[in-house]
Amino acid sequence: MIVGIDLGTTNSLIAYFTEEGPKIIPNRLGNHLTPSVVSVDEEGNVYVGETAKERMSLYPDTVAQTFKRSMGTDREYILSGRHFKPEELSSMVLRSLKEDAEAYLGEEVTEAVISVPAYFDDKRRKATKRAGELAELKVERMISEPTAAAVAYGLYDKTQDTRFLVFDLGGGTFDVSILELYHNILEVRAVAGDNYLGGEDFTEVMAKLFLQKRNLQLQNLDEKEQVRLYRQAEKAKCAISDQSQVTMNFLYREEMLEEVITVKEYEEACEELLMKIREPVKKSLADAGLKLSEIDEVLLIGGATRLSIVRDFLIRLFRKFPDTGMNPDEAVALGAAVQAAMKERREEVREVILTDVCSFTLGTEVVVEYEEGRYEEGRFCPIIERNTVIPASHTERLYTVRDNQDKVRVRVLQGESRYARNNLFLGEITVEIPKAPKGQESVDVTYTYDINSLLEVEVTVTSTGRKQKMIIKGDDNQMTEEEIKKRMEELAYLKIQPRDYEENRLVLLRAERMYEESLGERRKKLDRYIMSFEAALKKGDHDEIRDARTALNDVLEEENE
């Protein structure tokens, strides 16, 4: 049997399809939600779900949670002296769900459709697939969480063309997706989000607000006290949605502390988080080429959308009341179950073609000529831009930059930065080419990206027709986000150039941000003006720098309108 699984940051669920439609499978405790928490004791016994969550208060050093945020990285969690990767911990949650389903259904569960955040990159998706395999589940297909939710809302049997904005704020990740339904095709138009924003952050704000009122520092609390604090903060966060104020209690050094926190205080403390929500919404609309008024429905999924301050903020942001007709905690799992039924070719489900998009730009490292005869290495050349509907295949022709060059190295990168070093390295191909004067030899680099997150890279030497091909699965890259951040910090110690003057640095940072938020011709236009400004900075002529900066500023203002 094929089931649908929502592998969440805070809670996970499993569902299957029946003649009456998709249904959640209760866990061994009779609950629909299984906390995504794992504990391992000194004897090597593994606890998953509510039991593991309960152990946290007593044995915090044996428990791991929110590990979904670290999927695809090399981070390790140490539980009772044993080391575990995020996908290994996730596999324990999946195995628990699998066992619950088999006990409930009375048959073996062999395959699953697992949902992933729309903004998960290839490495995180591959880690999710590995987690399923470790749990002895065949995972041939994954579905983006917003797409699953859209299917669950009944979009798979709607007849009229509709545009939807799916707002997914879960426990640890945040996605905004714009989907369009026409005939029997459900197409993802754009995705944006934040892998490090969710309900857990709103809990943390409540905890910090309490500490602030009591003049306490988090670092002065021991592990058990921190666990207790966040547990009480979670309760207060949920309770304040239905009240004008909440009383939060916390046992500290054998003294019960009590504080009243009002909705107004909490809203003000959450202002920064709410502002972080706004940007991905704007970005997804811009990438889809749509205005908010062109969105027919706004769907809310993810447990954090239950919070009144979040819903009130969204009503103001969208200027309409979102659709809340389905349990936001269950929508993704139910949609994954519908997708599983489609994969099984169930007669009860009308076949819908689900398209997806490439969440991040895929490209390669190139050398660019910023003025005649002067080159800059380490630049990023986009080949398949983010939010391109997949499957997709694009080709870029690259030319030699040195006389008698006999090799071309194609480094496969993923990201939005103009600089190769800031993007994620996925793999590389090196091809031999005939020696010739610079610019006379070239290669065609073709990227083909499919819906299963597999990237095929083909490099063809145009003069000889020689081809070299490889499949990028993302498994070779071992660089974590922490390592990338560390590398960027190391670069800050390099010699200070004119770009580091405050005014120049500010306009460059703004330009880089807008470049990463742009696509197509707009991105190319920005790139030209940025290159002109950088060329002026390298020359060091103050008048030329001023003129180039003014020109770049004018373009930024124009593009920002």
Q: Which residues contact 337 (CB under 8 A, 6 or more apart)?
A: 3, 4, 15, 16, 17, 22, 23, 113
Sign, CA torsion 114/118/122/124: negative
Cβ contact 369:400 at 8 Å: no
Cβ contact 512:554 at 8 Å: no
Say which of 87, 145, 200, 234 is annotated catalytic: 145
- 543 burial (CB, 10 Å; 0-12 / 13-18 / 19+) is exposed
Q: Which residues contact 280 (CB under 8 A, 6 or more apart)?
A: 174, 175, 176, 192, 193, 194
Half-sphere exposure of 465 (CA within 13 A, CB side): 0
Cβ contact 96:104 at 8 Å: no
Cβ contact 535:498 at 8 Å: no
Q: Would you call 6 a catalytic residue per the annotation?
A: yes
Distance CA 204, CA 239 (A): 15
Helices (H), 426-497: 481-491
Cβ-based neighbour number of residue 15 at 10 Å: 27
Q: What DSSP line would sit under 509-556, residue for residue?
A: HHHHHHHHH--HHHHHHHHHHHHHHHHHHHHT-HHHHHHHHHHHHHHH
Cβ contact 354:340 at 8 Å: no
Residue 25, amino acid: I
Say which of 87, 168, 200, 201 is annotated catalytic: 168
Element (H, E) at 54: helix 50-58
Say which of 53, 68, 126, 283 is annotated catalytic: 68
- For 430, the token pair is 């090196």
Q: Which residues contact 371 (CB under 8 A, 6 or more apart)?
A: 535
Element (H, E) at 208: helix 199-213
φ, ψ at 313 (rounded to 5°): -65, -40
Say which of 6, 121, 287, 517 is annotated catalytic: 6
Task: Report the catalytic residues.
Answer: 6, 68, 145, 168
